Amino acid sequence: MKARSKPVQVKDVFDGILGETMRHVSETYGEAASHHLFFELYDRTFSFLEREYGHAAVVAYWNFIADTQLGALEALMKRKGFKGMEEYWRATLGQEGADYAMKRTKNSFEVRVKRCPPNEWFKSRRIAKYPAYCDHCRTLYQRVGERCGYRMEYFAPDKKAGTCCGIKFVKKPSA
């Protein structure tokens, strides 16, 4: 009688490989290199899902990310409101090396990205990126904002204004 082997847990194997690869790249080549690797892996994942399963699969993936990977943003939004949003984007955009403008008022929070590191990376390497790459920002942050009681407005890239994209949050009126 043959012993039954346990099925390979592809997700666990992949998570381990990816985690170790990101750690190695960061330690060996620096944080900027790990960001570049992340940009490309993210982009290629979007492309694969679109090609194999359609755009709905890409959006489902973005929703999954919003629901499982943005806990730090959600906690700051719930705890500190617009101030928490400013803290999150200042840290995130600063870590990536983005050029951006932020405005926080009593009634809103807005950030406009002037120079987006992923887009700059793809352009500098002449790498064709997933055509709807920038749409992940709209989907991720709108979903988190909705859960926290905010309405989000998305600003598409505007070459005339010199911006890549932007978002603005306002508190939803109480029902």
pLDDT for the residue numbered 11: 83
pLDDT for the residue numbered 4: 73
CA distance 76 to 1: 56
> In degrees rounded to 5, what are phi and psi of residue 108?
-160, 165
Here the tokens at position 78 are 């719930």
What number of helices (H) and strands (E) belong to the chain?
Answer: 7, 4
Here the tokens at position 147 are 């859960």
CA distance 89 to 49: 27
3-state SS string for 9-20: CHHHHHHHHHHH
- Which regions of the chain are under pLDDT 50? none
CA distance 63 to 137: 11
32 three-state secondary structure: helix
pLDDT for the residue numbered 98: 92
pLDDT for the residue numbered 1: 60
pLDDT for the residue numbered 175: 56
Domains and CATH numbers, the chain: 10-171 (3.30.1380)
CA distance 132 to 96: 20
